[in-house]
């Protein structure tokens, strides 16, 4: 079986293989730096490494489905809502990974983490939803206008 980037648009499994593989390789750099700076062992950094992989595992299938829906001609508002909700889920996963990693590496005090977690959720979720919602609507509108100009 020959794997290619163009076929990744057809199969979610190839999309996940390429996307998650690339993400995990890129994620190694910051963790090698963290190992050096914080003087932690690879075993101590394994939990945070896996925690930071989960946002990608959650987000990549959503992106694949949203691209499929776009090809099917779903309405722009519905597509923008899908992107907004996807970004909210991604934001939740990133916030959880940051706080889990901070607590497990003893960079964040547990009593301080609860308040920071709540504030991060209250600010991050609406911001991530509305920014992505309006960006998708703007992108779709711009693309539609440019297609009309070309015709």
Mind listing the pLDDT tens digit for each residue in 110-130? 888 999 999 999 999 999 999
Residue-level length of the chain? 151
Please report the pLDDT score of residue 116 as a whole number: 93
Please report the pLDDT score of residue 1 as a whole number: 47
pLDDT at position 34 over 70:
yes
| 7-26 average pLDDT score | 80
Token digits of residue 82? 């899908």
Entry pTM = 0.81
- Which of the pair, 82 or 144, is modelled with greater confidence? 82
Per-domain boundaries in the chain: 6-150
Cβ pair 5, 22 in contact under 8 A: no
Residues 6+ apart with CB under 8 A from 24: 53, 56
Q: What mean pLDDT is reported for the chain?
A: 87
């Amino acid at each position: 079986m020959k794997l290619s980037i163009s076929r990744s648009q057809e199969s979610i499994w190839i999309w996940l293989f390429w996307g998650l593989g690339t993400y995990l390789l890129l994620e190694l750099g910051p963790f090698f730096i963290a190992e050096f700076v914080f003087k932690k062992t690879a075993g101590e950094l394994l939990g945070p490494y896996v925690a930071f992989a989960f946002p990608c595992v959650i987000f990549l299938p959503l992106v694949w489905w949203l691209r499929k829906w776009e090809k099917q001609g779903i309405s722009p508002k519905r597509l923008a809502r899908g992107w907004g909700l996807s970004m909210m889920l991604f934001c939740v996963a990133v916030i959880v990974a940051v706080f889990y990693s901070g607590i497990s590496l003893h960079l964040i005090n547990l009593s301080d983490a609860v308040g920071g977690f709540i504030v991060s959720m209250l600010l991050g979720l609406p911001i991530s939803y509305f920014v992505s919602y309006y960006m998708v609507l703007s992108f779709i509108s711009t693309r539609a206008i440019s297609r009309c100009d070309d015709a």
